[in-house]
């Protein structure tokens, strides 16, 4: 999720009961991230670290600046990135364009699907193996969360207008639902406790567990 105030947003989730993981930066892309790791995935706040780099010809097509700074209901602040072993879809079946940020060594790349800012950015990172993902430092959360088991994108633009969005919706990986504003709903551990926390208006995030 794009953020112009990452310190503030991280504090909200830490106060709730999450443990912040290791941060990361993207040299020559102009961005950095604050991250929360779970056993099968992670959530991060992406923010601007260098204005010139994020507006450079290499980075501009990825539209990070627009997603981070948009203050309207036309632009989704969210991105969903998939990796091998973390899903059941063959992403080679869908039309994408290649993004090669300067911080990634050759021949690593990101496959991005679509250009519409009203949709969340959907991308596939084939260079992140399941083995390398599992080597990261394990994270324990006071609230007890382990896995993200469902992701719902609530949006004024939730039409299933691409084959990828249709297949994601069918696969139970990501669900799209119409909503007045852009919001992301994360379900942890199959919502066995039947609990919900709505972070709005401070954050466009809902947790279910």
41-96 pLDDT, tens per residue? Answer: 999 999 999 999 999 999 999 999 999 999 889 999 999 999 987 677 899 999 99
Which pLDDT band holds residue 137 (cuts at 50, 70, 90)?
low
Cα–Cα distances (Å) from 193 to 157, 189, 190, 196, 207, in that order, read 30, 9, 9, 9, 12
Report the DSSP beta bridge partners of residue 26: 31
Tell me the whole-structure pTM to 2 decimals. 0.93
Window from 43-52, 92-101, 135-144, 197-206 with minimum mean pLDDT = 135-144
Write the pLDDT tens digit of every residue in 151-195: 999 999 999 999 999 999 998 889 999 999 999 999 999 999 999
Dist CA 120 CA 81 (whole Å): 10
Query: Greater confidence, 182 or 114?
Result: 182
Q: Which residues contact 135 (CB under 8 A, 6 or more apart)?
A: none
Q: Please give the structure tokens belonging to residue 110.
A: 């990101």
Q: How far is CA 111 from CA 7, 65, 81, 94, 120, in A?
A: 29, 18, 9, 10, 14
198 secondary structure, DSSP code? E
């Amino acid at each position: 999720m794009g953020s112009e105030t990452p310190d503030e947003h991280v504090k909200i989730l830490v106060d709730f009961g999450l443990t912040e993981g290791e941060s990361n930066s993207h040299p020559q892309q102009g961005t950095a991230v604050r991250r929360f790791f779970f056993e099968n995935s992670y959530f991060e706040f992406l923010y601007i670290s260098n204005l010139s780099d994020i507006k450079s010809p290499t980075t501009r097509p990825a539209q990070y600046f627009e997603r981070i700074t948009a203050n309207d209901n036309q632009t989704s602040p969210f991105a969903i990135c998939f990796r091998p072993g973390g899903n059941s879809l063959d992403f080679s079946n869908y039309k994408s364009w290649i993004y090669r940020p300067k911080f990634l060594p050759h021949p690593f790349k990101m496959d991005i699907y679509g250009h519409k800012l009203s949709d969340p950015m959907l991308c596939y990172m084939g260079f992140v193996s399941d083995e390398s993902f599992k080597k990261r430092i394990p994270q324990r959360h006071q609230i007890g969360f382990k896995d993200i088991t469902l992701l719902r994108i609530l949006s004024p633009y939730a039409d299933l207008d691409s084959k990828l969005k249709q297949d994601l919706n069918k696969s139970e990986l990501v669900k799209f639902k119409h909503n007045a504003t852009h919001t992301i709903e994360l379900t942890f551990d199959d919502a066995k406790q039947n609990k919900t926390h709505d972070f709005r208006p401070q954050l466009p995030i809902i947790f279910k567990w």
